[in-house]
Amino acid sequence: MTRPLTIAIDGPAAAGKGTLAKRVAARYRLPYLDTGLLYRAVGRQILAGGVDPDDPQAAARVARGLDVADLDDPTLRGHEAGELASRIAVHAPVREALVAFQRGFAARPEGAVLDGRDIGTVICPHARVKIFVTASAEVRARRRTDELVAHGRRDVEYGRILAEVKARDERDSGRDVAPLKPADDAHLLDTSQLDIDAAFRAACDVVDRVLAAQDGH
């Protein structure tokens, strides 16, 4: 029996893992889940409902009521939602409420592609392929700045974005529950000097090599 092809793609903010994961999912004809949207959706609902994002139990109640349709909100891609997502992700009850959702998605018979920050270490530790996508903080801040400007923002300061990227890295890497780090068997992919096409080719090379080795070829 063929094992499901579960591909875990992790990495820090603005490393390019989301765009990469979507293209990898299309290439291998697998369903795709951007797990970061789960936390962004909870954060958005917390904001809309006037809930304290630093209250773990209150945030967890919102998380337990999340529906997959909530992930279609276009505002979830915004900077504010991203900051809220990072704040609530430190709460263990919130993570517990969302882990089952992610694992259920990953358990599909054909497999799936999931991207996030702890897919290879916590959500899918037995994924057939694990890739940790990274880039320097400076490159990631420049990408985020350019993205915001392209979406019409004119009040964007690179220095402020860089400080936020570094602060978020420290918060995500230093949290007690499922900190951001590569799995021991993850393949590192530094995209600092790569455009998306080159990064995609490199990711597919990783997947193909791992599958060939597992299949004994």
- Residue 15, annotated as binding a ligand: yes
The verdict on whether residue 12 carries a ligand-binding annotation is yes
With residue 6 as reference, give the H or E element that holds it. strand 5-10
14 is in an annotated binding site: yes
Phi/psi for 115 (5° steps) reads: -125, 145
Question: Which pair of structure tokens corresponds to residue 207?
Answer: 């997947």
Antiparallel, parallel or unpaired: β 129-134 and 5-10? parallel
Please tell me whether 13 is known to bind a ligand.
yes
Q: Residue 18 annotated as binding? A: yes
d(CA 131, CA 203): 8
Give yes or no for a contact between 82 and 44, defined as CB atoms under 8 angstroms apart: no
Beta strands in 76-207 (DSSP E): 111-116, 129-134, 187-190
The answer to whether the annotation marks 125 as part of a ligand binding site is no
**Binding site membership: which residues?**
11-19
Known binding residues for ATP: 11-19
